[in-house]
Amino acid sequence: MKKKINRIFESDSIEDIEDKVEDLLDRWDFEKINASINYLSDCKKTILHLLLFDHTIYNLGHQDYYTDGYACGGLSFTKPDSENYIFHNSLLYGLYENFDSIEEFKPLIEILEKFRIDVDGSQRETKECENCNGVGTNTIYNYDNSEFEEEECTVCGGEGETMENNTDSGGVLNAEELNILDSNYCSIRTNIISRIVKILVDLYNSTSNVVEGL
């Protein structure tokens, strides 16, 4: 993995970056990659995190960024509290510390700051009883008197409703809001990646890791 990571910092074009990131990542593991980049400067760590973010958002979007566990450092469907966004917060902090003066990254930081997840936390929900179609009774034939009679539904006890597990529990409720973030990111992606290429070239040509524009 270290060799693949190092190759990314020798990139000189958008296409070159995308090929090398694709080679590094399939389903990336935050902890595994972080364990492999301790030798990198904070600046390079942030660039790598940004490339991981780009790869995920460009291919999956912000909703899967959360539900597949990427935003939370590999923990799928963890509680949507912002303190659990281990990877997301690490990226945002890295941008604040290393690249806050770069104009191309300012709209990206705004997108990252707006990211939030609203999930359905209800575990049980009320549904219409399927046995009686919500009426509370069933029509049966009484063979003793040869008549049809109404009998209390044995499933819902005459309530017409049943309590069932919520199959959507944990589902993302603010999908439309996340779709807007997807669109906003796609609209600035070319500028972001182009600036990353320039930073990588500057880093490659610099022995002091001082990047023009920082």
Lowest-confidence segment of 147-156, 162-171, 197-206 by average pLDDT:
162-171
Q: What is the number of other CB atoms lying within 10 angstroms of the CB of residue 193? A: 20
Q: Is residue 210 part of a domain?
A: no
Q: Are residues 41 and 95 in the same domain?
A: yes
Q: Are residues 24 and 86 in the same domain?
A: yes
Q: Are residues 98 and 181 in the same domain?
A: yes
Q: Is residue 213 part of a domain?
A: no
Structure pTM? 0.70
Q: Are residues 56 and 74 in the same domain?
A: yes
Q: Say what the pLDDT of residue 29 is.
A: 66
Dist CA 104 CA 47 (whole Å): 14
Mean pLDDT confidence for 21-43: 73
Q: Are residues 33 and 74 in the same domain?
A: yes
Judge whether residue 93 has pLDDT over 80: yes
Q: Is residue 142 part of a domain?
A: yes
- Alpha helices in 25-170, H assignment, sequence order: 30-35, 42-59, 62-67, 86-98, 106-114
Dist CA 17 CA 204 (whole Å): 14
Dist CA 33 CA 30 (whole Å): 5
Q: Is the distance from CB of 173 to CB of 199 less than 8 angstroms?
A: no
Q: Is the distance from CB of 153 to CB of 131 less than 8 angstroms?
A: yes
Lowest-confidence segment of 59-63, 130-134, 159-163 by average pLDDT:
159-163
Judge whether residue 40 has pLDDT over 90: no
Q: Are residues 160 and 201 in the same domain?
A: no
Q: Is residue 40 part of a domain?
A: yes
Dist CA 54 CA 52 (whole Å): 5
Q: Are residues 128 and 116 in the same domain?
A: no
Split at pLDDT 50, 70, 90, the class of 205 is confident
In the beta sheet, which residues pair with residue 125? 164
Higher local confidence (pLDDT), 176 or 202: 176
Q: Say what the pLDDT of residue 107 is.
A: 96
Q: Is the distance from CB of 173 to CB of 118 less than 8 angstroms?
A: yes
Q: Are residues 130 and 187 in the same domain?
A: no
Range of the domain at 49: 2-120+172-205
Q: Are residues 51 and 148 in the same domain?
A: no
Q: Are residues 147 and 97 in the same domain?
A: no
Q: What's the whole-number average pLDDT of the chain?
A: 81
Higher local confidence (pLDDT), 192 or 214: 192
- Which range, 13-17, 27-31, 73-77, 154-158, has the best average confidence (pLDDT)? 154-158
Lowest-confidence segment of 6-10, 26-30, 125-129, 209-213 by average pLDDT:
209-213
Q: What is the pLDDT of residues 94-144, one digit of tens each?
A: 999 999 899 999 999 999 999 998 876 654 567 889 889 989 898 887 877
Residue type at position 22:
E
Return the exposure string of 42-73: e unless at least 16 CB atoms fall within 10 Å of the residue's CB, then b. ebbbbbbbbbbbbbbbeeebbbbbbbebbbbb
Q: Is residue 32 part of a domain?
A: yes
Q: Is residue 152 part of a domain?
A: yes
Split at pLDDT 50, 70, 90, the class of 30 is low
Dist CA 82 CA 75 (whole Å): 13
CA 41 to chain centre: 26
Domain count, the chain: 2
DSSP state, residue 68: T
Q: Are residues 95 and 158 in the same domain?
A: no
User: Phi/psi at 203 (nearest 5 deg)?
Assistant: -65, -40
Q: Are residues 132 and 51 in the same domain?
A: no
Dist CA 116 CA 210 (whole Å): 33
